Chain A
Amino acid sequence: MVNITINNKKIQVPEGTTILNAAKQAGIDIPVLCYHPDLDIKANCRICVVEVEGARTLQTACSTRVWEGMAVRTNTPKVRQARKIIVELILAGHEMDCTYCKRNNRCDLQKIAADLGIRENPFRHVERDLERDTSGPSLERNPNKCIKCGRCIQMCGKVQGLSLLDYAGRSDEVEIKPAFGKYLTDIACVACGQCAVVCPVAAITEKEDIDRVWEAINDPDKVVIVQTAPAVRVALGEEFGFEPGKVVTGKMVAALRALGFDKVFDTDFTADLTIIEEGNELLQRLSNGGVLPMLTSCSPGWINFIEQYYPELLPHVSTCKSPQQMFGALAKGYYAAKIGKRPEDIFSVSIMPCTAKKYEAQRPEMSVDGKNPDVDVVLTTRELAKMLRQAGINFDALEEEEYDAPFGLSTGAAVIFGATGGVMEAALRTVYEVVTGKTLPSLDFKDVRGLEGIKEATVDLNGTPVKVAVAHTLANARKLMELIKSGKADYAFIEIMCCPGGCIGGGGQPYGTTNEVRKKRIAAIYEADRDLPIRKSHENPAIKKLYEEFLGEPLGEKSHHLLHTHYNDRKA
């Protein structure tokens, strides 16, 4: 332990602690912009400067580690002036349309400026007028708002292993952008949106589609239905002041009804369906000598990755559509007829923790009638929160409500799709019982849970040990792909989720996502699983009914048409 004083307060902290974390312990918040707890320390924004006794210059709290006897002052006139001028300098080069900005009231820079009491900017405004990139269906880049903190570079490079963004140029002409200034749609971007989650301002954001949903809701000729992904219910509450990890399923359902959706369904239903189809596909591959290991296909960022980086491994990918797209196909290819409507009369919205889902929904093959997309609009968790605020819905005051039939009933196996390892665990619960005919002694496959990058487990299926693996983030996915290519991957089944922590850490989730927050959301996911009466997909009575009434059998002709898809080699 090291003894230091911060603002005359004596504290003891472990050796190696940064001033930033030591101050936190002393109850002092130091503002940060480039710092992010899950990324490397960069110390380039200089907002966190403090006075350290004996130092010639101000020191950055994020990067400077304490030493015995260190005396730190975080609130001197010199420190306040430095922070104020630094923020004024940033604002002078920043597109100042805060009231129109997507991140108004959700912006780190705005908050710091407010906290520092900046009322005017003495510096001349520097008009950058750089081209915005609105080329893609998922993400938009506005370089005029970029503050060059470099968080997105680290996220894309270090966590996802893609390195599609970097600094270009120098001095005040520095920009963070794809190589040669290409559009996001012209590079091998997977649209995961992790850059947008860590961006402290609105330099990279999801493409907003809220108005299209309002339009549909207000159209009397449309039946507007909505599906909600497993991970949304454990994060949406954060947008309304709940602690991370609060399960708000019932309130979310009530809120969606209050917005005017005709039917509120659950993507969990098609997650259960995915398990039935994917589980059977796995069994078929195992018994027919099919391509193994089989790879999951629910994460569209991951699909974008393998199509662009490892197309030679596409035969490994399950042909199952993602739960979102299975839902979309059923909505237009089954539900419409069931309620006496044409597919085009149904407007299908999905609420996702994900930005890549926006891309997935507009893929041409994701259309049962070949004309209209099966999922018309994808909104992120953040966009849903915005809609609720626009509608003046007091989320906290809502009474909990239930999902609508027939796509409202789901199991614990479906809920855990939201966490890394969840799809694997859900699949194992079903595959084990289908193969062995025995009831699982414990439903919890704890080896595949948690934030470790690559997890492994072996399951005994009637005397045959079946080895499985789980990876989250694309840097980890890449390791497994290389292992498969080298012929050393002795797994039967691999789950891959694009985003850190799985969908609960998706690119469309509330700002402020950190690994600490991810852990809380994951805990909530397993809590929701534990609390559900049915925890195995194959025991979902609504799924059984759907097969009896419409689909016939898993991997059958209707399934093939509606629930399975194909992939494309998109390597540049």
Chain B
Amino acid sequence: MSNKVKKLLTARFGVVSPDSIEDYIKNGGYASLKKALGMDPEAIITEVKASGLRGRGGAGFPTGIKMESVRRATGSPKYVVCNADEGEPGNFKDRYLMEKDPHQLLEGMIISAFAAGADYGAIFVRGEYINSIKILDNAIKQARKAGFLGKNILGTGFDFEMDVYSGAGSYVCGEEFALLAALEGKPARSTFKPPFPTTEGLNGKPTQINNVETFANIPHIIDMGGAAYAALGTEASTGTKLISLSGNVNHPGLYEVTYDITLREIIEELGGGVPGGRAVKMVQLGGPSGPIIPPSLLDLKIDANEMRKYNLSIASGAIIVIDDRADALDILVRIMEFFHHESCGKCTPCREGLGQVLGLLDKFVDGTATEADLKLLRNLLDVMSQASLCGLGQAAPTAIKTILQYFGDELCGRIGAAKEVK
């Protein structure tokens, strides 16, 4: 078991003071930047591609390819943007990364910028993360003073600046197009794609946008080399993964693991199981936008190939454990209220659909739902996930869809319940 806990990104947590760049440097920090600046940018991209690193925000797009696309894209200036809008309930890994070891993120971004040919970086931090913003601001100042940011970095002729930005706390800012809109000073609403940010991102310019955890991996890839990094993981999922474990577990918190660990090992061994010896009823992966799965699937490794068999992924790494006291319908109503509140209102399926989903769920709560309501709900959810403009509307139905798949009776059993009571 212990061999599946691997401290790579979290290695300096508690060892360095987040306010001290000296601590960071003393512990090997910015060595990768120095190494990278001595490399050909193409060679960096080759290493990142060889590492097999995939985006840690949830979608899992290969980072090296993204980096290469930005480098190849025509248009100037180019940007790197860090998506630090960690608004998905149940996720807190990015906050730890920013607040425990901020320079690791900065170093990853500076290396990425050098590789992609960008000269400005923006970190968009969730509005509520006031402490993260303070720590990052301070870290950027220190890095600038130390010559890791600014003009002619470390005498290499490479210029790069970055700043911290934040929104007012809207969940949809975590969606990359909405985030870029917010960065441009516009309301956080997504837009259609293609074009993708790699060609038309911030201010319409080529932009490499990645999650905090993704950037934090870059210095380690440069340090150990792509092949060694890839060897850490499984064939489909390389490196380590930060897990935000929460819900009904004895030891909720942040864990860094390798991809050969199973969900059950995370919950029972790292998390110490469910308090009071209760049974796990369901587990939600990724957060409210993720699937809710039964205990029978907990022996799956979090590796992409294995989870894909069940149309699942570890996504951002949030694992929310729900014990046997919970009512599925109650959970779904809460989740859908969340999305209904957070929808930006731009596209029809999400804007008008979520309120209707809640209306239909109410019928199940009241026991007045019919078979026709269930069919309508299923059709509506299909259309929302197929036709919504952005990931918010596309993913919002996931929880209900998976409840219907794995815990169908919890909803279907309520059909006509009011009549039976009479």
Query: Would B344 and A57 count as touching, CB distance under 8 A?
Result: no
Task: Pick the interface stretch among A38-46, A217-225, A524-532.
Answer: A38-46
- A54 at the A/B interface (Cβ < 8 Å)? no
Task: Pick the interface stretch among B148-156, B293-301, B354-362.
Answer: B354-362
- The chain B residue with its CB closest to the CB of A169 is B345
Query: Would A57 and B352 count as touching, CB distance under 8 A?
Result: no
Interface residue from A58, A122, A126 paired with B387 (Cβ < 8 Å): A58
Task: Pick the interface stretch among A87-95, A270-278, A514-522.
Answer: A87-95
Interface string of B102-137 (1 = CB under 8 A from A): 000000000000000000000000000000000000
- A478 at the A/B interface (Cβ < 8 Å)? no
Residues of B within 8 A of A173 (CB): 345
Query: Would A46 and B349 count as touching, CB distance under 8 A?
Result: yes
CA distance A64 to B195 in the complex (A): 9
Query: Would A170 and B344 count as touching, CB distance under 8 A?
Result: yes
Q: Tell me how far the C-beta of B347 lies from the nearest C-beta in chain A, rounded to whole angstroms.
A: 5
Q: Tell me how far the C-beta of A174 lies from the nearest C-beta in chain B, rounded to whole angstroms.
A: 3
Interface residue from B349, B356, B388 paired with A123 (Cβ < 8 Å): B356
CA distance A81 to B384 in the complex (A): 11
CA distance A86 to B389 in the complex (A): 12
Q: Tell me how far the C-beta of A86 lies from the nearest C-beta in chain B, rounded to whole angstroms.
A: 5
- A144 at the A/B interface (Cβ < 8 Å)? no
Interface residue from A47, A58, A64, A90 paired with B352 (Cβ < 8 Å): A90
Interface residue from B187, B347, B351, B387 paired with A57 (Cβ < 8 Å): B387
Query: Would B383 and A172 count as touching, CB distance under 8 A?
Result: no
Query: Would B386 and A171 count as touching, CB distance under 8 A?
Result: no
Residues of A within 8 A of B344 (CB): 170-171, 174
- A63 at the A/B interface (Cβ < 8 Å)? yes
Query: Would B386 and A57 count as touching, CB distance under 8 A?
Result: yes
How many A-B pairs with Cβ below 8 Å?
A: 102
Query: Would B372 and A124 count as touching, CB distance under 8 A?
Result: no
Interface string of B386-414 (1 = CB under 8 A from A): 11110000100000000000000000000
- The chain A residue with its CB closest to the CB of B382 is A81
Q: Max chain B CB contacts within 10 Å: which of A81, A171, A172, A174?
A: A171
Query: Would B343 and A171 count as touching, CB distance under 8 A?
Result: yes
Q: Tell me how far the C-beta of B374 lies from the nearest C-beta in chain A, rounded to whole angstroms.
A: 12
Query: Would A171 and B192 count as touching, CB distance under 8 A?
Result: no
CA distance A498 to B293 in the complex (A): 60
Residues of B within 8 A of A348 (CB): none
Query: Would A82 and B387 count as touching, CB distance under 8 A?
Result: yes
Query: Would A174 and B351 count as touching, CB distance under 8 A?
Result: yes
- The chain B residue with its CB closest to the CB of A166 is B187
Query: Would B192 and A82 count as touching, CB distance under 8 A?
Result: no
Query: Would A45 and B376 count as touching, CB distance under 8 A?
Result: no
Q: Max chain A CB contacts within 10 Å: which of B355, B359, B387?
A: B387
Q: Tell me how far the C-beta of A373 lies from the nearest C-beta in chain B, rounded to whole angstroms.
A: 42
Are A49 and B387 CB-contacts (below 8 A) given A92-B356, A124-B359? yes
- B191 at the A/B interface (Cβ < 8 Å)? yes
Q: Tell me how far the C-beta of B335 lies from the nearest C-beta in chain A, rounded to whole angstroms.
A: 15
- B379 at the A/B interface (Cβ < 8 Å)? yes
Are A172 and B355 CB-contacts (below 8 A) given A57-B386, A81-B383, A82-B386? yes
Residues of B within 8 A of A85 (CB): 349, 379-380, 383
Residues of A within 8 A of B394 (CB): 57
Residues of B within 8 A of A167 (CB): 187, 189, 345-346
Are A81 and B379 CB-contacts (below 8 A) given A44-B389, A148-B345, A171-B344? yes
CA distance A93 to B187 in the complex (A): 23
Query: Would B376 and A122 count as touching, CB distance under 8 A?
Result: yes
What DSSP secondary structure best describes chain B's contact surface?
A: helix
Query: Would A46 and B389 count as touching, CB distance under 8 A?
Result: yes
CB neighbors of B among A28-60 (8 A):
41-47, 49, 57-58, 60
Query: Would A89 and B348 count as touching, CB distance under 8 A?
Result: yes
Are A45 and B348 CB-contacts (below 8 A) given A60-B192, A122-B372, A171-B342? yes
Query: Would B387 and A44 count as touching, CB distance under 8 A?
Result: no
CB neighbors of A among B28-65 (8 A):
none
CA distance A169 to B355 in the complex (A): 15
Interface residue from B194, B356, B372, B386 paired with A89 (Cβ < 8 Å): B356
Residues of A within 8 A of B352 (CB): 89-90, 92-93, 126, 172
Are A172 and B354 CB-contacts (below 8 A) given A43-B192, A65-B194, A89-B348? yes
Are A46 and B191 CB-contacts (below 8 A) given A172-B355, A173-B345? no
Residues of B within 8 A of A93 (CB): 352
Query: Would B349 and A89 count as touching, CB distance under 8 A?
Result: yes
Residues of A within 8 A of B191 (CB): 43
- A570 at the A/B interface (Cβ < 8 Å)? no
CA distance A49 to B187 in the complex (A): 25
Report how many residues on chain A are interfacial, defined by Cβ distance under 8 Å: 36
CA distance A93 to B345 in the complex (A): 13
Are A171 and B347 CB-contacts (below 8 A) given A92-B352, A122-B376? no
CB neighbors of A among B324-346 (8 A):
340-346
- B18 at the A/B interface (Cβ < 8 Å)? no
- A566 at the A/B interface (Cβ < 8 Å)? no
Interface residue from B192, B343, B379, B385 paired with A172 (Cβ < 8 Å): B343
Residues of A within 8 A of B356 (CB): 89, 92, 123-124
CA distance A47 to B387 in the complex (A): 9
CA distance A57 to B394 in the complex (A): 9
Residues of B within 8 A of A46 (CB): 347-349, 387-389
- The chain A residue with its CB closest to the CB of B353 is A89
- A479 at the A/B interface (Cβ < 8 Å)? no
Query: Would B351 and A78 count as touching, CB distance under 8 A?
Result: no
Q: Tell me how far the C-beta of B379 lies from the nearest C-beta in chain A, rounded to whole angstroms.
A: 6
- The chain B residue with its CB closest to the CB of A78 is B386
CA distance A270 to B191 in the complex (A): 49
Residues of B within 8 A of A174 (CB): 344-346, 351
CA distance A143 to B333 in the complex (A): 29
CA distance A171 to B356 in the complex (A): 12
Query: Would B354 and A58 count as touching, CB distance under 8 A?
Result: no
Q: Tell me how far the C-beta of B350 lies from the nearest C-beta in chain A, rounded to whole angstroms.
A: 8
CA distance A57 to B395 in the complex (A): 12
CA distance A396 to B379 in the complex (A): 47
Q: Tell me how far the C-beta of A343 lies from the nearest C-beta in chain B, rounded to whole angstroms.
A: 52
- The chain A residue with its CB closest to the CB of B188 is A170
Residues of A within 8 A of B347 (CB): 43-46
Q: Tell me how far the C-beta of B388 lies from the nearest C-beta in chain A, rounded to whole angstroms.
A: 7
Query: Would A126 and B355 count as touching, CB distance under 8 A?
Result: yes
Query: Would B386 and A58 count as touching, CB distance under 8 A?
Result: yes
Q: Max chain B CB contacts within 10 Å: which of A45, A93, A122, A126?
A: A122
Are A171 and B348 CB-contacts (below 8 A) given A81-B379, A85-B383? no
CB neighbors of B among A135-190 (8 A):
147-148, 167, 169-174
Are A171 and B354 CB-contacts (below 8 A) given A44-B347, A46-B347? yes
Q: Tell me how far the C-beta of B343 lies from the nearest C-beta in chain A, rounded to whole angstroms.
A: 4
Query: Would A171 and B387 count as touching, CB distance under 8 A?
Result: no
Query: Would A82 and B354 count as touching, CB distance under 8 A?
Result: no
Query: Would A57 and B385 count as touching, CB distance under 8 A?
Result: yes
Query: Would A90 and B348 count as touching, CB distance under 8 A?
Result: yes
CA distance A186 to B295 in the complex (A): 61
CA distance A82 to B389 in the complex (A): 13
- The chain B residue with its CB closest to the CB of A124 is B359
CA distance A391 to B298 in the complex (A): 74
- The chain A residue with its CB closest to the CB of B172 is A170
Residues of B within 8 A of A43 (CB): 191-192, 347, 389
Q: Tell me how far the C-beta of B202 lies from the nearest C-beta in chain A, rounded to whole angstroms.
A: 18
Q: Tell me how far the C-beta of A168 lies from the nearest C-beta in chain B, rounded to whole angstroms.
A: 9
A sample of 23 inter-chain contacts (CB < 8 A) reads A43-B192, A44-B346, A45-B347, A46-B347, A57-B386, A58-B387, A81-B382, A82-B383, A85-B383, A89-B352, A89-B356, A124-B359, A147-B348, A148-B351, A167-B187, A167-B345, A167-B346, A169-B345, A171-B355, A172-B343, A172-B354, A173-B345, A174-B346
- Sample of 9 more A-B contacts, CB < 8 Å, known A46-B348, A58-B387, A172-B345: A43-B192, A65-B194, A86-B383, A86-B387, A90-B348, A169-B345, A171-B342, A171-B345, A172-B354
Q: Identify the 4 closest CB pairs spanning chains A and B, nearest first.
A: A174-B345, A89-B352, A43-B192, A63-B192
